[in-house]
């Protein structure tokens, strides 16, 4: 749950520019969070060098890959249905091979490969560089699997292709894995222990994106605040590092500053933050540099200390409030969004009221809210009974969503009458006559196109709004343009 899942992107087919010399066709679908979509770019880059061009036409594919997510049951059911469809097509294209990538790979490898025989290949999130070997295995008629989790793989040396991009915004992965062991989450088991990318490789990627015309990047990780580079290796082994390694280590606030300085006109965002790891250094760095956006995704999961403890969240309600107070004090116009789980095992009405009261205190700009779904392999699944009835989960979730909608309206209205910088990302979904983009606080704004173009930084006067979208008029270019 430590990751944003955009429902509108689920199952997106990814395409890149063809290489003339390539003769094979790759069809790749992605499910889950931003990390998975970023990983699909890495996979496409690796396979482009192996003779594969991408296609959106399933019936001409030689290799079909599904990049999977284990965070919610719905995603697994969707992927399973897609695999059944691919196998139906395979009857007419027997040479077509099907593979599962990502978070479902390790947990379901035996079912997919041996019991149900619905895939030819299973590849975990740390094994993408092994794809050429695995493809050779299946071409020779053998099933192939590599789900070994790495202590050092960060794909820092793979320049990801940008798939289905608007050419304006891009994700840059900075960490892989997670050490937090929240009881509801499968990520530590599917993506392994935490390790960070070499900061220079991150700067190089950001510089390359700027040279290609990108104007905004999001530094991406399961828990970006936990970023720590000391020469390579797992974060948990930092205590064994030499004195020199410790003295020259780079933490997240330092990385953020380096990226901000490397490209002063490029907008910088980051996701996801964890309350237990976020330091005041990060907030001060955000305040120091104008090109770091005033927006933090800060999942809390519950407002109840008892439930937070059961989730193994290493922060209390009071510590979370202190962090929120510090953010508001240092960056008064910072937007904050949340992840929230309702109906976690043993949750009472009192716990639920604690969540609502926490939301009233913070008044989030927006959020990602879910009813608890038991995930196989997690500590909660092994040790706790999923004892909150579905109808109670649904009712509590609807109350959380209703309150969030109210707060979202209030937060959006705060921008009215202001002139704010917006980066144009594309045409509005509702009107060909309007552009859409986001302000620093990540709120979507739409305004008449006039003579501006995608990728421009423009100043927009905010005249009206819906609950989540600002409606305005451009009054000129920003000084960033």
Enumerate the known binding-site residues for [4Fe-4S] cluster: 33, 69, 103, 178, 182, 185
- Lookup result for tokens 């990538």: 101
CA atoms within 13 A on the CB side of 388: 23
Q: Where are the alpha helices (DSSP H) in 22-127?
A: 34-48, 73-90, 103-110
Q: Which residues of 236-269 are buried (b: 16+ CB within 10 A; e: fewer)?
A: eeeeebeeeeeeeebbbbbbbbebbeebeebbbb
- Coil, strand or helix at 8: helix
Distance CA 472, CA 420 (A): 10
Q: Which two tokens stand for residue 299?
A: 């999942």
- The number of helix segments (H) and strand segments (E) in the chain equals 14, 22
- Please give the DSSP secondary-structure letter assigned to residue 301: B
> Residues forming the annotated binding site?
33, 69, 103, 178, 182, 185
Q: Which two tokens stand for residue 225?
A: 């605040």
- Coil, strand or helix at 36: helix
Residues 222, 2 contacting (CB under 8 angstroms): yes
Distance CA 367, CA 345 (A): 21
* Residue-by-residue DSSP string for 160-211: ---TT--SSEEEEE-EE------TT--HHHHH-S-EE--HHHHHHHHHHHHH
- Lookup result for tokens 């009221």: 353
CA atoms within 13 A on the CB side of 423: 23
């Amino acid at each position: 749950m430590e990751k944003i899942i955009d429902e509108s992107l689920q199952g997106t087919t990814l395409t890149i520019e063809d290489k003339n010399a390539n003769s094979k066709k790759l069809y790749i679908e992605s499910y889950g969070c931003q990390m998975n979509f970023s990983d699909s770019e890495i996979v496409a880059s690796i396979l482009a060098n192996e003779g594969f061009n991408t296609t959106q036409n399933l019936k001409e594919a030689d290799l079909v890959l599904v990049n999977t997510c284990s965070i919610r049951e719905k995603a697994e059911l969707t992927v399973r249905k897609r695999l059944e469809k691919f196998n139906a097509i395979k009857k007419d294209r027997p040479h077509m091979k099907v593979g599962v990538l990502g978070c479902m790979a390790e947990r379901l490898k035996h079912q997919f490969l041996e019991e149900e025989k619905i895939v030819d290949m299973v590849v975990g999130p740390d094994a993408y560089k092994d794809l050429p070997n695995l493809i050779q295995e299946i071409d020779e008629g053998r099933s192939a699997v590599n789900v070994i989790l790495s202590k050092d793989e960060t794909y820092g040396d793979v320049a990801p292709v940008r798939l289905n991009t608007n050419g304006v915004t891009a994700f840059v992965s900075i960490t892989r894995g997670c050490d937090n062991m929240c009881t509801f989450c499968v990520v530590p088991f599917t993506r392994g222990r935490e390790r960070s990318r070499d900061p220079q490789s991150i700067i190089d990627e950001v510089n390359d994106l700027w040279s290609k015309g990108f104007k905004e990047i999001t530094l991406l990780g399961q828990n970006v605040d936990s970023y720590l580079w000391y020469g390579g290796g797992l974060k948990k082994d930092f205590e064994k590092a030499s004195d020199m390694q410790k003295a020259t280590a780079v933490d997240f606030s330092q990385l953020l500053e380096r990226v901000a300085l490397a490209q002063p006109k490029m907008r910088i965002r980051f996701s996801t933050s964890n309350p237990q790891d976020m330091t005041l250094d990060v907030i001060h760095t955000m305040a120091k540099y104008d090109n770091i956006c005033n927006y933090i995704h800060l999942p809390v999961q519950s407002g109840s200390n008892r439930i937070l403890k059961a989730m193994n969240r290493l922060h209390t309600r009071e510590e979370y409030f202190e962090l929120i107070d510090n953010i508001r004090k240092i960056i008064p116009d910072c937007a904050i969004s949340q992840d929230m789980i309702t109906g976690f095992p043993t949750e009472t009405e009192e716990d639920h009221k604690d969540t609502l009261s926490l939301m009233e205190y913070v008044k989030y700009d927006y959020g990602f809210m879910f009813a608890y779904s038991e995930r196989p392999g997690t500590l909660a699944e092994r040790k706790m009974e999923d004892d909150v009835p579905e109808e109670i989960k649904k009712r509590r979730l609807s109350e959380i969503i209703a309150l969030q909608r109210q707060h979202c309206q209030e937060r959006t209205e705060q921008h009215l009458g202001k002139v704010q910088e917006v980066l144009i990302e594309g045409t509005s979904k509702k009107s060909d006559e309007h552009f859409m983009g986001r302000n620093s606080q990540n709120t979507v704004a739409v305004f008449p196109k006039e003579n501006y173009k995608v990728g421009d930084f423009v100043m927009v006067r905010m005249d009206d709004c819906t609950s989540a979208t600002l409606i305005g008029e451009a009054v000129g270019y920003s000084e960033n343009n």
